[in-house]
Structure formats: structure tokens, C-alpha cells
Structure 1
Amino acid sequence: MTLSLREARVRYGPLEALHGVTLAAPGPGLTVLLGRNGSGRTTALRALAGTVAPTAGSVVWDGMDVTRVPAYERARRGLCLIPDRRAVFGSLTVRENLDLTSPAHGPALDAYPRLERLLDRRAGTLSGGEQRMLALSRALLGHPRAVLVDEAAQGMSPAVAARTYELLAGLDACVVLAEQRLPPVLRDRPALVYELRRGSVVFAGEAAEWARSRAGRATGRPG
């Protein structure tokens, strides 16, 4: 299974955020979209999920053109988007948030034991890192075919962040992460990396290759 953009362009009013971006995220497997704020990585993630519509090009999932398939229908087919903000229902408790996906909370609490003592807290009162744990836990419970995550470890401690990336890398799904930097724990894993800059892809290759390329740029030598 592969989730891909093909020559995708996305506009926000008069501004074009993606300039004919082509990328392919195989599954099961891990793909990372790298770039600074304004690079287009979040827009690419949203185009894959269907929350923004390309003005040109296409979105293809498992060999089918889903460009005009709405986001809720992609969700029904097994695509889970975890945005960088408002990823949980703040007025509901942690328990109620998890119940929306599955009444069996075991896998979520195994992944993030801290959530067990927060089950009766309203999600909106949690810290940013705790809300990320909750949002990711819901994805783990849903057994999705594709998981798209914007800033997966935002607000987490280094240890919990490392655990999070290990969990995502181990999913039997197509996993696409949008990150500003490549997490250290993923540099030695078989992951694809696409680096975006100003709405265009400037690098495509394996994570280890990207790390060598970056080291070469830092020293002034070819990667």
C-alpha cells in the first residue's frame, strides 16, 4: 500500500503553498516530511488526509485516485490524521476520548502508562505533551491503515518522545510524520525522508542518506 501526492499544487487564496510536489509513502513503513515552518510539510500532510484540496495534481492511495474523496470518507477507509493542534476533544475526559475509538484501553495505557491516572481528567486540562499522548493513543486503538502525524512528540520529554517514535515506527501501517527535524531515534531506521523548502521537494531518499547529506553540508564536503 502506498499513499502519494503526484504533482500536487495547493493554494491558500493568492498564495501557492505546494508547487507540484510528488512524494510516495509506502506502507507498512515510515516516511518523514521535513522542513521549517512555511516549507509546505503540514500542507502536504493535509492534502494526503483530504483536509485541503489540491488545485492541481492528485492524491493516490493504494492505487486509487482519492483526490476528490472527502476527509471523512478517507477516515472511514482507515486513514487517521493527528494535527499539531486540537487533536483531542477538550471537553471530554481522557476515558471518553479513548472510548470514542475503543472501550478496550489496554494498548493505549501500555503505550503511555501516565494516562491511566488521568482517565477522569478533562482532556482540555492536560499539558501539551499529555494531549499528544492521548491523541496518539486513540490512533493506536483504531488500528488504522495510514497514520499522518504533525509534530508527533510536541511537548513531550525526550524519553517519552523516543518511545513515541519507536511506537510509530513499529505500526503495521503507512506512517507519515511532518517534522522540523529528523528525530535522532529514526536516523538509523529504514525510513524515507522528503525535505521540503518553500513548497518544493529538495531531497528524497533514505533517512541514513539524508543524515550523511546533512553532515556533508555542515562540513562543506559532499554527503
Structure 2
Amino acid sequence: MSAAGVSLRHARVRYGPLEALHGVTLHAPAPGVTVLLGRNGSGRTTALRALAGTLPLSHGAVVWDGTDVTRLPAYERARRGLCLVPDRRAVFGSLTVRENLELAASGRPFAPALDAYPQLGALLPRRAGTLSGGEQRMLALSRALLARARVVLVDEPAQGMSPAVAARTYGLLRGLDACVVVAEQRLPPGLCAGTTIVYELRRGAVVFSGEATETARSTATAVAPDPPGPAKPT
């Protein structure tokens, strides 16, 4: 297993009495794109949060570039170059679009964000909380691009976007010189390149791992029904 990138090793996560991850082991190489596939309740969002440090492990380890960071708090992981883009509340709603971008750019020009999403140019004076869902996703992804993170974790990046903007978003993620981990319900066509690694999670366990081309050949991977049993948190 390559040391460069981030890994979960035998990771278990609990929400009170409920275990959401059952000894999950996965590795996202750097640079490269890794997709965590799964329906709601599969554990894909929990896995992202465990990597980011916003959820503690009850067992197992988080390893980043060969170093165990399990006990490193989320803010320290962020300082070291990890960026989490959650599916909700991913922008500062009370600040304007311009202020959101300026914070992410840390004194550098934020023009690359407008190159990535030209639609944001007209929205610079608007408060981020007044934007549509798709516009907020564009802003959240722009902030991640400006952060120049070494690890980018994104939960459903294209949620609320038009097909054209979604395709652009996946192209931007593929082009990052970083370890990119994306959580999705289904494998997007824009991430079906052979170099993309896929893990399918079902009820807190990995049921498939391989290249995206293998997953694309079998639609059953994305749409097979879950076995009966109690629902698990995402």
C-alpha cells in the first residue's frame, strides 16, 4: 500500500450505540481521485468525516502520508493542508461571496476561482446564504481550489448543479495536484477515468474496491439493493 495519500485502517466509528463503520480499510493515493460510492446509510459520509477528523474513531487508525494522525484534531489536519467540503453548510452564509473567496485565498488573488466558475463574478456582492444550492456548491468548491490543499475531501460536489457545471466540476477535481476523495451515490461519468479508484460501501463495510473502469462495466455496483437490516447513518 503506497504511503502517499490518506488511509483508513480497520476504522470503526460509532454514533452512540450504533456502529456506522465496521472495520473499514481504504487508501486514497496522492495525487489522484478516489470515489466512495454508496447510498444514504452506507457510511461514505462517515468515512469522509473520519478522514477529516470531525468524527473520532472508536477503533483503527487514520494515516496520512505514512504518519498516524488518528489523534490529530481536525483543525490541525486543516492547517497541514486537508480541506473538507461537506454536503451542507460548506460556506460562510453571513459573508459575501467575495469575503468567502478572500478568506480562502489568504491574501492571494482569488481570480482562479472566477476562472473555474465565471458565474460567481456577478455574485461577489451577494451574501453566500442567499445563493441557490448549486451556486453555494460552486462557491464551496472554489474555496477548496483556492486553499491549495494537499488533501481535498468532498461530499457530493455537484449537488444542485446543472449537468454542464457538474461536468466542469469533476474536470476541476481531476486536475488537482492533490489527494482528492469524493463521496457519491453513483459514479459520475466525469470520474470514470481508469486512474480513478472506487470503493463501494454498504452498511458501513467495503463491498467493492477497484478502478472506475471496472465499476462502470457493471451497473449492479451502483444500483444493487442493500440487504435487509437496520439503517445506518451516512
Deviation at 1:188, TM superposition (A): 3.0
The match for 1:200 among 205, 213, 219 is 205
1:44 maps to 2:26: no
How many positions carry a matched residue from both structures? 218
The aligned counterpart of 2:171 is 166
C-alpha displacement at 1:214, in angstroms?
A: 2.9
Which string of whole-angstrom CA distances, capped at 9 and with x for unpartnered residues, describes residues 11-67 of structure 1?
000100000000000010000000000000000000000000110000000010000
1:211 aligned onto 2:220: no
Distance 1:42 1:101 in 2: 23
Partner of 2:192: 187
2:38–2:222 Cα contact (<8 Å) kept: no
Superposed, 1:1-223 pairs within 5 Å as 1-102=4-105, 103=107, 104-214=109-219
Distance 2:53 2:221 in 1: 37
The alignment partner of 1:21 has SS state of strand
Distance 1:105 1:36, change over 3 A: same
The answer to whether the Cα contact below 8 Å between 2:33 and 2:179 also exists between their aligned partners in 1 is: yes
* Worse-superposed segment, 187-196 or 168-177: 187-196
Q: Structure 1, residues 131-188: CA drift from partner, whole Å, max 9, x if none?
A: 0000110111111000000010000000000000000011000000000000012113
TM-score, with structure 2 as normaliser:
0.91
Question: 8 Å contact 2:186–2:222 — kept in the other structure?
Answer: no
1: CA distance between counterparts of 2:193 and 2:167?
A: 13
With normalisation by structure 1, the TM-score equals 0.95
State the distance in 2 between where 1:28 and 1:19 align: 27
Output the amino acid matched with 1:148: L
Letter in structure 1 aligned against 2:198: V
Are the equivalent residues in 1 in contact too, given 2:37–2:222 (CA < 8 A)?
Answer: no
Distance in 2, matches of 1:216 and 1:77, equals 35
Distance 1:192 1:210 in 2: 10
SS of 2:143's equivalent in the other structure is helix
| Whole-angstrom distance in 1 between the partners of 2:132 and 2:217 | 36
Q: Counterparts of 2:191 and 2:97 in 1: how far apart (Å)?
A: 29
What percent identity do the matched residue pairs reach? Answer: 77
* Structure 2 match to 1:221: none
Where does the alignment leave 5 or more consecutive residues of structure 2 unmatched? 224-234
